[in-house]
Chains A and B, each alone.
Chain A
């Protein structure tokens, strides 16, 4: 075969690569199409419906359904109870996620070493967040009962936990921290196990203390895992509902009335879909602003030289 023939054989005909290229470009889309359709139906369409409903006086049970502009948003934004609920929700998310992060870190560091005991300990960590929140709420309610609950009995106290705002919040935060700290710990255990040993050995030879090693070597490398834990838990914490519904139902008074209790009442008990949609859209906006802001802050700690 001549050099020219070899070159012609090696180089495909001109139209072929164009068709193959087009095929290559459309191939992934075709493969993803079923997923995209499901995503569209399950996520995008409901989101658009939610947005549309928030501008309407929607009556799903028959009767009128009309465009009301920003009325629903006006009601929500001028409703002191709704704004109070939003602030309580934000405070709950910040405090509970911070506590889970601190405790999760404290659990993760010793459990990250690969030993048989730690493997069993890590498996046990799975238990709390494998329990349905409604069930753990009911159990906590029984444990805290001032007449026959185990908590008062073994502590030798007579606290009416769910009757006072402060103790009710302590109970709710304890339940949340108990249920979700293991989730944070598991993420951080994975992160700690990914830290290479060499820099730690070098630091030990240089006389660095355990705290210095943790602060300047482990923690910076853990930050991407911290980011994942914080973002996931923040989004989940915003969705908390069952424990509040069962443990306090928003009481005493309105002390623990988080926004999801109000949305549930308006949407699923009164079926005022328009007002509930406006509530949900506003919550979505808050989350959409909050999560990227959190990620930016965490990224700054992850890459200090770039900040």
Chain B
């Protein structure tokens, strides 16, 4: 005897099964749950699709290479670009829906811990000569610290950092320790100091500085010198200030803070692999005290600094409002200012550890054309292509490219900073953690809270957010 409703359930099951097959066919996922086309002999697809950033990763530089790509590969590279926030949501959505639409995804460092399980591990490709036929990966040419920080992950424990960046290019060493390589770094960003060369070279300024401070005016190399030079150039009546800072609430304030934290001898990553909250110790307090003094006591920054981000600081410097600034990219003074820009690494106190982070090109695990997508990313990140892209402002990730650009002041400063840079902690909810720390930086900078109070509050917030995200903190935290 048939049980009541069995016929209906059977019809529903059939309907669901048919719908599922139709959906799979419609989305092109029929080749398996994790995509296909990994065989080096896979036929060439008619086109590869790449999801990329906009100005944040110099999209124009990559887009200008598309005709050359077509000549080399005989196929099109379709590049879709999105601004930062929209891009993050799009990349996450592509991964969450297991879409095979994009073969290549651009991934920013803070997103990688959450995405790493959905990205194709590259060790098998890197060691297979058959897919390195168009452009070999040449891992050994990538700046070791950049490669290790950007692309080397343990997918089972995303918090772990690769212990020895110097060996990151050795695939066997990487996989031997449970890590893998998840992308090819491109557009390497590091905090670099820019300054008004014309002001520093002005004899009148030099004389005035020497008279006031008893030493020659020079580009500051220590944070103490930096504070003094910033104070010297601060003349509100002339609409001139010493420097910019990014103390507005946002990731930029955290970036400022972690560079100072590393400079004052702390762990610039802020949170250890054991989830110890390393930003809240004496070095953190010292860094915030310095920051507050520069901004709210010495007032060596333009008005509005406690609401400023990357955009405001770049505009302030470009318009001639400040003598120094910090940024990722090369700057350009407004023609009316008529000055000249020089570049240098961020100053040092006990150490130096400018904030850095790099975009990487990764293979979508669900792509149907992985072998060709791999060939595309090794070609796009090859030394020749990176060097060509510097004409449009790309920040290379290869040692050989920086060597070729040795005469360029900006690239020299950037290359040196990348070699010393300190990245972020690897957390799936880094945005929330960064936000909690940015609030502390902002309140300490404006004097709304003392550095100690601000850090204690940040410890509470960070602890709560890490716990909410499922992390188990050590007892001492």
Q: Which of B446-473 contact A (CB under 8 A)?
A: 446, 448-449, 461, 464, 468-470
Q: Which among B95, B118, B249, B469 is the interface contact of A249 at CB below 8 angstroms?
A: B249
| Closest partner residue, chain B, to A68 (CB atom) | B470
| Closest partner residue, chain A, to B428 (CB atom) | A270
| Number of chain A interface residues as a range | 20 to 34
Is B92 located at the chain interface by the 8 A CB criterion? yes
Stretch from B11-19, B255-263, B304-312 contacting the other chain: B304-312
Q: Which among A79, A158, A249, A271 is the interface contact of B250 at CB below 8 angstroms?
A: A249
- Is B443 within 8 A of A272, CB to CB? no
- B residues within 8 A CB of A161? 304, 307
Give the docked Cα–Cα distance between A300 and B239 (Å): 59
Is B330 located at the chain interface by the 8 A CB criterion? no
- Is A61 within 8 A of B307, CB to CB? no
- A residues within 8 A CB of B89? 268
Q: Knowing A61-B117, A249-B249, A253-B439 touch, does A162 contact B304 (C-beta < 8 A)?
A: yes
Q: Knowing A147-B303, A162-B307, A252-B448 touch, does A79 contact B464 (C-beta < 8 A)?
A: yes
Q: Knowing A163-B304, A248-B249, A253-B442 touch, does A272 contact B469 (C-beta < 8 A)?
A: yes
User: Min CB distance, A79 to chain B, in Å?
Assistant: 7
Give the docked Cα–Cα distance between A146 and B429 (Å): 33
Is A251 located at the chain interface by the 8 A CB criterion? yes
- A residues within 8 A CB of B96? 60-61, 271
- Is A61 within 8 A of B92, CB to CB? yes
- A residues within 8 A CB of B394? none
Give the docked Cα–Cα distance between A162 and B248 (Å): 9
- B residues within 8 A CB of A168? 307
Q: Knowing A253-B439, A268-B89, A270-B114 touch, does A146 contact B432 (C-beta < 8 A)?
A: no
Is B302 located at the chain interface by the 8 A CB criterion? yes
Q: Knowing A63-B117, A272-B429 touch, does A251 contact B435 (C-beta < 8 A)?
A: no
Q: Which of A211-266 contact B (CB under 8 A)?
A: 248-254, 265-266
| Closest partner residue, chain A, to B309 (CB atom) | A249
Q: Knowing A160-B307, A252-B249 touch, does A57 contact B470 (C-beta < 8 A)?
A: yes
Give the docked Cα–Cα distance between A131 and B430 (Å): 33
- Is A265 within 8 A of B431, CB to CB? yes
- Is B432 within 8 A of A266, CB to CB? yes
Give the docked Cα–Cα distance between A79 and B436 (Å): 13
- Is B435 within 8 A of A147, CB to CB? no
Q: Knowing A148-B319, A270-B428 touch, does A160 contact B250 (C-beta < 8 A)?
A: no
- B residues within 8 A CB of A266? 429, 432
- A residues within 8 A CB of B92? 60-61, 268, 271
Is B63 located at the chain interface by the 8 A CB criterion? no
Give the docked Cα–Cα distance between A62 and B439 (Å): 31
- Is B114 within 8 A of A61, CB to CB? yes
Q: Which of B289-309 contact A (CB under 8 A)?
A: 302-307, 309
- Is B312 within 8 A of A251, CB to CB? no
Q: Knowing A163-B304, A163-B306 touch, does A61 contact B432 (C-beta < 8 A)?
A: no
Interface centre among A63, A147, A248, A250 (most CB of B within 10 A): A147
Q: Knowing A61-B117, A249-B248, A270-B114 touch, does A163 contact B431 (C-beta < 8 A)?
A: no
Give the docked Cα–Cα distance between A62 and B443 (Å): 37
- A residues within 8 A CB of B468? 75, 79, 272, 275
Q: Which among A62, A63, A75, A146 is the interface contact of B304 at CB below 8 angstroms?
A: A146
- Is B321 within 8 A of A147, CB to CB? yes
- A residues within 8 A CB of B442? 251-253
User: Min CB distance, A23 to chain B, in Å?
Assistant: 26
User: Min CB distance, B170 to chain A, in Å?
Assistant: 28
Residues of B in contact (CB 8 Å), total 42
- B residues within 8 A CB of A270? 114, 428-432, 469
- Is B304 within 8 A of A147, CB to CB? yes
Give the docked Cα–Cα distance between A266 and B250 (Å): 15
| Closest partner residue, chain A, to B322 (CB atom) | A147
- Is B249 within 8 A of A145, CB to CB? no
Is B397 located at the chain interface by the 8 A CB criterion? no
- Is A254 within 8 A of B307, CB to CB? no
Is A269 located at the chain interface by the 8 A CB criterion? yes
Is A193 located at the chain interface by the 8 A CB criterion? no
Q: Give B95-135 as 1s and 0s: 1 = Cβ < 8 Å from A's Cβ atoms.
A: 11000000000000000001101100000000000000000
Give the docked Cα–Cα distance between A61 and B428 (Å): 11
Is A81 located at the chain interface by the 8 A CB criterion? yes
- A residues within 8 A CB of B319? 148
| Closest partner residue, chain A, to B436 (CB atom) | A81
- Is A61 within 8 A of B115, CB to CB? yes
Give the docked Cα–Cα distance between A210 and B140 (Å): 84
User: Min CB distance, A58 to chain B, in Å?
Assistant: 10
Interface centre among A158, A252, A275 (most CB of B within 10 A): A252
Q: Which among B117, B432, B470 is the interface contact of A62 at CB below 8 angstroms?
A: B117
Q: Knowing A160-B307, A270-B469 touch, does A147 contact B432 (C-beta < 8 A)?
A: no
Q: Which of B238-265 contact A (CB under 8 A)?
A: 239, 248-250
Q: Which of A43-95 contact B (CB under 8 A)?
A: 57, 60-63, 75, 79, 81
Is B316 located at the chain interface by the 8 A CB criterion? yes
| Closest partner residue, chain B, to A78 (CB atom) | B464
Q: Give B299-340 as 1s and 0s: 1 = Cβ < 8 Å from A's Cβ atoms.
A: 000111111010010001001010000000000000000000
- B residues within 8 A CB of A147? 239, 302-304, 316, 321
Q: Which among A60, A160, A251, A271 is the interface contact of B249 at CB below 8 angstroms?
A: A251
Give the docked Cα–Cα distance between A270 and B305 (Å): 27
- Is A145 within 8 A of B304, CB to CB? yes
Is B82 located at the chain interface by the 8 A CB criterion? no
- Is A252 within 8 A of B303, CB to CB? no
- A residues within 8 A CB of B461? 81
Q: Which among A57, A62, A146, A268 is the interface contact of B118 at CB below 8 angstroms?
A: A62
Give the docked Cα–Cα distance between A62 and B442 (Å): 35
Residues of chain B whose beta carbon lies under 8 Å from any beta carbon of chain A: 85, 88-89, 92, 95-96, 114-115, 117-118, 239, 248-250, 302-307, 309, 312, 316, 319, 321, 428-432, 435, 439, 442-443, 446, 448-449, 461, 464, 468-470
What are 17 pairs between A and B in contact, CB < 8 Å?
A61-B118, A62-B117, A79-B468, A81-B461, A146-B302, A147-B303, A163-B304, A251-B248, A252-B307, A252-B443, A253-B439, A253-B449, A268-B89, A269-B85, A270-B428, A270-B469, A272-B469
Given contacts A63-B117, A147-B321, A250-B249, 17 further A-B contacts (CB under 8 A): A60-B92, A61-B92, A62-B95, A79-B464, A147-B303, A160-B306, A161-B304, A163-B307, A252-B249, A252-B442, A252-B446, A253-B249, A253-B449, A268-B85, A269-B88, A271-B428, A272-B429
> Nearest 6 pairs between A and B by C-beta?
A251-B249, A162-B307, A60-B96, A146-B303, A270-B429, A269-B431
